[in-house]
Amino acid sequence: MNAFAAAPAARGKQTLRRAVALSVAALVLLGGAACSAQEPEPEPGAAPAGPPAAAPADRPTGSVSAAGALGGASTLYYLTREGGRQYVTALRNGTVTRHLNVPDGRYCVGDSVSVSPDGRRVAWVVGNDQGEGQLTVANLDGSGRKTLSQRVYCLGNHPAWAGDSASMKVILVGSGAKGLLDLGTGRFTAQQPEQFARDTVRSASGAFQAYGDDQRIVVRDARGRVVHEARHGAESETGGFTVTGVSDDGRYVAVGPRATDPSRGIGGRTLVDMTTGRGVPLPVEVSRGHFSFWLGAAGAMVVRVDESGGPARIHEVSGDGRVVTRTEPASLATPVAFDA
C-alpha cells in the first residue's frame, strides 16, 4: 500500500479541509536537473498538470536536504555550526550524529554540499564569488578526502550525484561542457543535454528515474523506456521547475521550484501523480508552516514542517500510512538541512 496513493480516498472531507498547498520552502542544495533537451512528443493521455495548489510562504533561514527514507527510517542531513566549525550532521530516528567537518565561510560550499544516493559520501565545491571552484569528495566519516583537478561551476542543481554514487554531473568552467565526472579516475565524459538531464533522480529501489524536460516531467524505467510523461507548469515566479524525487513504483514524482544561481531548490513542493499529471495532497498537515518533503523506499515519505516561532517538526510516513512525528532536536545548532 502506498501512503500517498491512498490518502485522498481515505480522508474524504478531511482532505478537502486541509487543502494541502503542496508547496515547499525553496531552501538550498540538491535537486533534479531541469534541462531543455528535446524528447519525443508526450504519450497520448498524458494530462496537463494543474497549477500548484499554493505558492510557498517566505523563505526560512535554514536549509535542509534529505538523502532518503530507507526502509521506513529516514535520515535528514544538515549543515550545523559548532565551535566556529561547520559539520555535516545527520538526524535518524530522532538521534543526532555529527559527521565530517566541511569548510565554512567559503563560496559555493553551502550551495553545493550533497550526500551520495547510497549515503556513504559527501561532495562539495570550494569556489569563488563567480560560482567557480574545485569539487571535493569524502566519506561520511571524513576519510578518503579527495579534490578533483577540474574546475566546475556550482550553479543551480550542479554538481549533482549520478545514480551510481560513483560519479557526478558537472559543468566545466571555461568550456561550459556538461557531462559525467568519474570521482575515482577524474575522467570527464561529455554528454548531450538530454543525457545530462537524466540519471540524477532515482527511486530508492533504483527501478525508475525522473527528470524535467522543458515543460514536461519524464519517468523512465531501468531499461530507459519512458513509462510516464506529463506537462507541468512553473513552480515559482522565476519559472520552470525541478524534479527532486520519484516513488518506487514510478507513479509519483516530487517537484520543486527551479533552482536559481547559486542556491538550489531541495525537497518537494508538489507531489504529482504521473497517471493524471496532477498534484495530489500530502498525507500530513502542512498548512501552518513552510514545508519540504522527500520520497523514500516502499512508498515512504519524509515531511519537514518549519513553523514560525517554534522548532520544526519531522513527519515520517510509512508505506502503509503510519505517521511518526518528531520535533527537530534543539541540539541541531543553527541547522541548515540540505539532503535526505
Average pLDDT score over the chain: 75
Query: What's residue 321's pLDDT?
Result: 87
Alpha-helical (H) ranges within the chain are 3-11, 13-18, 109-112, 193-197
Q: What's the rounded Cα separation, in Å, for the pair 27 and 60?
A: 7
**What does the pLDDT average to over 190-211?**
86
Residue 68 DSSP SS3: strand
Residue 183 belongs to some domain of the structure: no
Report residue 220 as a C-alpha cell: 523512465
340 pLDDT tier (thresholds 50, 70, 90): low
Q: Cell digits for 218?
A: 519524464
- Region of 331 (left: φ > 0; alpha: ψ -120 to 50; beta: rest) is alpha
Q: What are phi and psi of 297, to 5 degrees?
A: -80, 150
Could you tell me the residue range of the domain that residue 315 belongs to? 3-99+201-339
The pLDDT, as a whole number, for residue 264 is 56
- Taking only the tens place, the pLDDT of each residue in 273-285 is 999 999 999 998 8
Does a cis peptide bond (omega within 30 degrees of 0) precede residue 335?
no
Structural contact between residues 172 and 149, judged by C-beta atoms closer than 8 angstroms: no
**Would you say the pTM of this structure is higher than 0.85?**
no
Give a yes or no: residue 104 inside a domain: no
Give the residue carrying C-alpha cell 528515474: 209
Residues with Cβ within 8 Å of 44's Cβ and at least 6 positions away in sequence, in order, are none
pLDDT for 265 beyond 70: no
Q: Is residue 269 part of a domain?
A: yes
161/337 Cα distance (integer angstroms): 17
Query: Are 97 and 329 in contact, with CB atoms under 8 Å apart?
Result: no
Mean pLDDT of 286-312: 83
Tell me if the bond preceding 117 is cis, omega within 30° of 0: no
Decide if 139 is inside a domain. no
Q: Which of 124-138, 171-185, 193-207, 315-329 is least confident? A: 193-207
Nearest-CA neighbor of 118 among 64, 187, 166? Answer: 166
Q: Does the residue 109 lie in any domain?
A: no
Looking at per-residue confidence, does 64 or 288 come out higher? 288
Identify whether 115 is part of a domain.
no
Domain count, the chain: 1
Please give the average per-residue pLDDT across 312-328, as a whole number.
89
Chain segment 32-78, per-residue pLDDT in tens:
222 222 233 333 333 333 333 333 332 222 334 433 333 344 788 88
Closest CA to 170 of 195, 151, 198, 144: 151
CA atoms within 13 A on the CB side of 245: 34
Tens-place pLDDT, residues 79-110? 888 877 888 989 888 888 889 888 876 678 88
Q: How confident is the model at residue 336 (pLDDT cuts 50, 70, 90)?
A: low
Q: DSSP 3-state assignment of 287?
A: coil
What pLDDT does residue 259 have? 63
Cα 137 versus chain centre, distance = 19
Whether residue 301 lies inside any domain: the answer is yes
The cell numbers describing 13, all together, are 472531507
Contact 31, 265 (CB under 8 A): yes
Higher-confidence position of 248 and 338: 248
Amino acid identity of residue 311, one-letter, is: P
The mean pLDDT of 156-171, rounded to a whole number, is: 87
Distances (CA, A) of 94 to 245, 246, 297, 314, 328: 23, 25, 19, 9, 8
